[in-house]
């Protein structure tokens, strides 16, 4: 028997791996499962992006090792999109780096800037990789609980002075997974002031910026004056363009932060297949050709689920962004107990809130990643078992 490294032993089992195993067990019994657990869009990648990829695959020049930091054309396209979308100017050469999906960059960032024992400020509930990346780097997580009473925003004023002075990184994610919360300009201004005061690197995961509803337009941390001095932002083409399997994303912001991340990546991976980056250029060029239709679909799905869940007895508010709903579980259930009941009795998969950290206890997350007919069926199944 091989002995695992201590860094592996310290990690909880990856949330979605456990859910996959439970799904397999139920499906093996012949149950028709409706999976609202994982944020993997069911919609196809837009055809213009696919065609760009097809053409690029045929080009022999794209069959070689790519640039570690990303193709120049892709980085220029990222900078142009950021300026158009957020009015943020970026130097493609020093303030942009291509990633093999945002998850990879988020996990590797801690390796570049955390020494063993260094403190990282990590919200909870949150995407699990902020925490696991910290552990892999030998860092020490300090949890910032996100509560409904504070609109699921971290209370920076509650951080003890001795923790703030020793912290190296602050992780943020707005629009937020899993809570679907959003942050306003005032919050980001407070974050920038806090980071300057304590010399902390702010890492904002902006993966869901283009999945927003009712005219709401999420902002970038980098829009705030002084943010680029202390901040880096992660983004992905996965959710915006239904490209989860393509594995392409990027990070932008402070040049020192970008350079540090690049130093890790150049020693670990060999970059993104250039044909995929060519497709990424096309995606960003034509973002407003595909995004409105995608947002419209998710808006309808959100409305169907919110209305149906309310009719069933849940208390749930319409989300302003992301394709998630963060739903309180009924008494007397725990998050895991209710998730298990939905799977075993209704064949509906959701994600238990405590899987994103202890402060997520008492909630489940539903992903709007099935078509309307399946969402309606899921509601009917939940109604039939009662809550």
Reply yes or no on whether the pLDDT at 14 is more than 70: no
Q: Closest Cα to residue 340, out of 332, 348, 39?
A: 348
**pLDDT band at residue 15 using 50, 70 and 90 as cut-offs:** low
Residue with tokens 């955390």: 114
Judge contact between 235 and 252, C-beta under 8 A. yes
Tell me the CA distances in angstroms from 24 to 28, 31, 33, 315, 335, one per residue in order.
6, 10, 10, 30, 20
In the chain, % of residues over pLDDT 90:
91
The boundaries of every CATH 3.40.640.10 domain in the chain are 47-287
What does the alpha-carbon distance between residue 374 and residue 220 come to, in Å, rounded to a whole number?
34
The boundaries of every CATH 3.90.1150.10 domain in the chain are 6-44+289-385
Containing H/E element for 374? helix 372-385
Task: Give the model's pLDDT for residue 8.
Answer: 86
Q: What is the CA radius of gyration of the chain?
A: 21
Task: Give the model's pLDDT for residue 19.
Answer: 74
Fold of 47-287: 3.40.640
What does the alpha-carbon distance between residue 386 and residue 376 come to, in Å, rounded to a whole number?
15
Task: Give the model's pLDDT for residue 22.
Answer: 81
CATH number of 6-44+289-385: 3.90.1150.10
Reply yes or no on whether the pLDDT at 335 is more than 80: yes
Task: Give the model's pLDDT for residue 12.
Answer: 72
Q: Fill in the DSSP letter of residue 67.
A: P
Q: ω into residue 378 within 30 of 0, thus cis? A: no
């Amino acid at each position: 028997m091989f002995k695992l490294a201590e860094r592996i032993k310290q990690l909880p089992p990856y949330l979605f791996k456990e859910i996959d195993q439970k799904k397999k067990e139920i499906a093996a019994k012949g149950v028709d499962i409706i999976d609202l657990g994982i944020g993997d869009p069911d919609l196809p990648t837009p055809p213009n992006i696919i065609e760009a990829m097809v053409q690029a695959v045929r080009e022999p020049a794209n069959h070689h090792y790519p640039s570690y930091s990303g193709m120049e054309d892709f980085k220029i396209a990222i900078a142009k999109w950021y300026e158009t979308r957020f009015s943020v100017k970026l130097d493609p050469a020093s303030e942009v780096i291509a990633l093999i999906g945002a998850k990879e960059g988020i996990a590797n960032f801690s390796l570049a800037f955390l020494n063993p024992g260094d403190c990282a400020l990590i919200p909870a509930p949150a995407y699990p990789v902020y925490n696991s990346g910290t552990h892999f780097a030998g860092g020490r997580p300090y949890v910032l609980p996100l509560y409904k009473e504070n609109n699921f925003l971290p209370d920076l004023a509650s951080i003890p002075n001795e923790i703030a002075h020793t912290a190296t990184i602050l992780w943020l994610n707005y629009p937020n997974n899993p809570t679907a919360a959003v942050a306003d300009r005032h919050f980001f201004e407070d974050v920038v002031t806090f980071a300057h005061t304590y010399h902390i690197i702010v890492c904002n995961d902006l993966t869901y910026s283009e999945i927003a509803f009712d005219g709401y337009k999420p902002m970038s941390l980098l829009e705030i004056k002084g943010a680029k001095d202390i901040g880096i932002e992660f983004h992905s083409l996965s959710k915006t363009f239904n490209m989860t399997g393509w594995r392409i994303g990027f990070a932008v912001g402070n040049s020192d932060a970008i350079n540090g991340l690049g130093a890790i990546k150049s020693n670990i991976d060999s970059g993104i297949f250039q044909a995929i980056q060519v497709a990424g250029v096309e995606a960003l060029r034509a973002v407003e050709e595909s995004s409105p239709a995608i947002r419209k679909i998710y808006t309808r799905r959100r409305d169907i689920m919110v209305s149906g869940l309310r009719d069933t007895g849940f208390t749930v508010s319409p989300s302003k962004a992301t394709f998630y709903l963060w739903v309180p579980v009924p008494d007397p259930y725990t998050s895991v107990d209710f998730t298990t009941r939905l799977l075993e009795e209704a064949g509906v998969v959701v994600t238990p809130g405590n899987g994103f950290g202890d402060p997520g206890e008492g909630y489940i997350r539903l992903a709007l990643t099935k078509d309307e007919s399946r969402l309606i069926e899921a509601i009917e199944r939940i109604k039939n078992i009662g809550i």
